[in-house]
Chain A
């Protein structure tokens, strides 16, 4: 038998094939659609959300760098920014990276501390484009109180939701619809930048640290509560909380700490071998920088005399006025090898600044109610008893070592026995050595520290609040999650 095949009967097969292809395509398309949506959310939106925070923090870093320049490079601070209504804003936003992230910031000084140092607020925003389909995620359906991804990651598909809802500055003013050229995520961060005062730790060394003797001790007190007494082992004492801030900070892995330390220790990769001697916390992952110290550009015009403190002689300074912390009475000495006495003006709190352009090898006596700052270009080589601060308040006698401009030139501070002193040293380029067993009230910032005696060292917590800013740090971070 022969069966004829007629063309009009082939349609059935074709139809079946087409239907099968259709069904398979629908299944495949559904799979692809879901996969793309997942990919869209998992890859594009999550990535953009994270990158926008990176951009916002980048904007914060840029603004922070400008704030630091107000101390380290004042002539170039906020170059390319506009100052209006107490707020600095960049002339243009910054776009960077292959993903075209953009950022901008606003900076304003919102608070001035008792030293006149400004505290800055940075409000920064970072924007990251969202690649892929203009679709929300698929997980906004979990329950009545849940909106899944869009509650966390706010993607602006057509308009900037933040400006439309809260205003450009988030203060409810100037709310408007701002179209976006493509889907994007914007995150906003507020940073508070605080001045770093010179003496925020008992000892701060940029380089190596060795000390003190096995029977040495570092603790703290607060001179606002009266004279020092030891209370670091007495929790019931009302001043106990001020007694354990004898902090030591070392930006080096070479850190040999001896003696008893009532405070925290921070190193940069160091290993503390006698940690049982440290009452506070130990953190070996705290890198920091201390910029070189430059002679203040606003140093007042010096008095005409005296101009030096020659050896084997006593020079007495009687200021013609009391001055103030911001406008002290100033002197310029070409040498300092003799004995210097600084008296107060009348019965007033007297503020005196002295710039010594040579080494300091003489003796100094600061009478009560005098607040003296000694800036020196050279080295210091004295005995502890040669530094007489009659008030006993370390903040009243502050030494500042001007960093040599030639990096091959070293600077040193050597304090030998006998005697004790109450003073502070801020000399980030100086090698500091302390010998003997002095009783010290004060603080030191230096390049390297060496002390081999059984020193007792008392950090005055009031020092944390004195002095002009030497740098800035970000002290607070909060994200505007709206």
Chain B
């Protein structure tokens, strides 16, 4: 008996199959490896920029408050910043608001006083206290007891501020450093701290 060989049902030889499977495996392995690497890289870059944005935010928050501040004080370890800022907007419960509730949410007209250090512009008898502090992996901003988390990262995000007093005013030097998360073989890989620096001057004459 003679078997007919049909060209329409021609297949691969075992050799061809082995070669193609080998090549396919190599290509697939390469693709998976590339994909994992890409994903890790993307994750690392995404995490880096997320933390970088938080660096910028911390600096911007601090600088905004320093510029309008009356006093800026940093702790000995340089990780807590306390500042007094004018109470510009009338809030619920303020004496003006009690007398006239429609004034809530409106800017105050300041009063002028002559003190032992010269003329002073006062929006209220007591300015608002704003504190920047670290709590775990978060950076907190506390204004009149209200806490806002302005940054949160597991990248060892560490702000440091130094206030420098001048004759009439002062300025604050701030640096925010973090160590980007990056692992290799489930171990923390070599990494370098990324720092951002900023200097902001008080626009107001320093008090105290």
Binding site for B on A (CB under 8 A): 1-4, 6, 20, 27, 30-31, 34, 38, 41-42, 46, 49-50, 110-111, 113, 119, 121, 137-139, 142-143, 145-146, 148-149, 151-153, 166, 170-172, 190, 192, 194, 200, 241-242, 264-266, 280-283, 285-286, 464-465, 474-482
Q: Does B99 contact A (CB under 8 A)?
A: no
Within 8 A of A (CB), among B121-176: 121, 123, 147-152, 165-168
Shortest Cβ distance from B3 into chain A, in angstroms? Answer: 13
**Residues of A contacting B86 with CB < 8 Å?**
476, 478
Q: Is the CB of B56 within 8 A of A42?
A: yes
Q: A121-B109, A479-B67 are in contact. List 5 more A-B contacts (CB 8 A).
A: A139-B57, A285-B166, A477-B67, A477-B203, A480-B89
A285 and B168 alpha carbons, distance in the complex (Å):
10
A173 and B118 alpha carbons, distance in the complex (Å):
35
Q: Is the CB of B49 within 8 A of A42?
A: yes
Q: Is the CB of A480 within 8 A of B107?
A: yes
The number of inter-chain residue pairs (CB within 8 angstroms) is 126
Number of interface residues of B (CB under 8 A): 52
Q: Is the CB of A477 within 8 A of B149?
A: no
A171 and B110 alpha carbons, distance in the complex (Å):
15
**Residues of B contacting A479 with CB < 8 Å?**
64, 67-68
Q: Is the CB of B60 within 8 A of A145?
A: no
Shortest Cβ distance from B60 into chain A, in angstroms? Answer: 6
Within 8 A of A (CB), among B94-112: 102, 105-107, 109-110, 112
Q: Is the CB of A152 within 8 A of B152?
A: no
A48 and B98 alpha carbons, distance in the complex (Å):
38
Q: Is the CB of A4 within 8 A of B10?
A: yes
A242 and B68 alpha carbons, distance in the complex (Å):
28
**Residues of A contacting B80 with CB < 8 Å?**
none
Identify which of B42, B60, B109 contacts A31 (C-beta below 8 A). B42
Q: A42-B52, A172-B105 are in contact. Are A143 and B152 (CB under 8 A)?
A: yes
**Residues of B contacting A153 with CB < 8 Å?**
60
Q: Is the CB of A139 within 8 A of B50?
A: yes
The 8 listed contacts between A and B (C-beta, < 8 Å) are: A41-B53, A42-B53, A146-B149, A152-B64, A170-B107, A172-B105, A281-B165, A285-B166
Q: A145-B147, A145-B149, A478-B88 are in contact. Are A286 and B168 (CB under 8 A)?
A: yes
A329 and B150 alpha carbons, distance in the complex (Å):
63
Q: Is the CB of B68 within 8 A of A143?
A: no
Q: Is the CB of B68 within 8 A of A477?
A: yes
A421 and B59 alpha carbons, distance in the complex (Å):
54
Q: A110-B109, A479-B68 are in contact. Are A38 and B38 (CB under 8 A)?
A: no
A110 and B149 alpha carbons, distance in the complex (Å):
38
Q: Does B73 contact A (CB under 8 A)?
A: no
Shortest Cβ distance from A298 into chain B, in angstroms? Answer: 24
Q: Is the CB of A166 within 8 A of B112?
A: no
A242 and B49 alpha carbons, distance in the complex (Å):
54
Q: Does B186 contact A (CB under 8 A)?
A: no
**Residues of A contacting B165 with CB < 8 Å?**
281
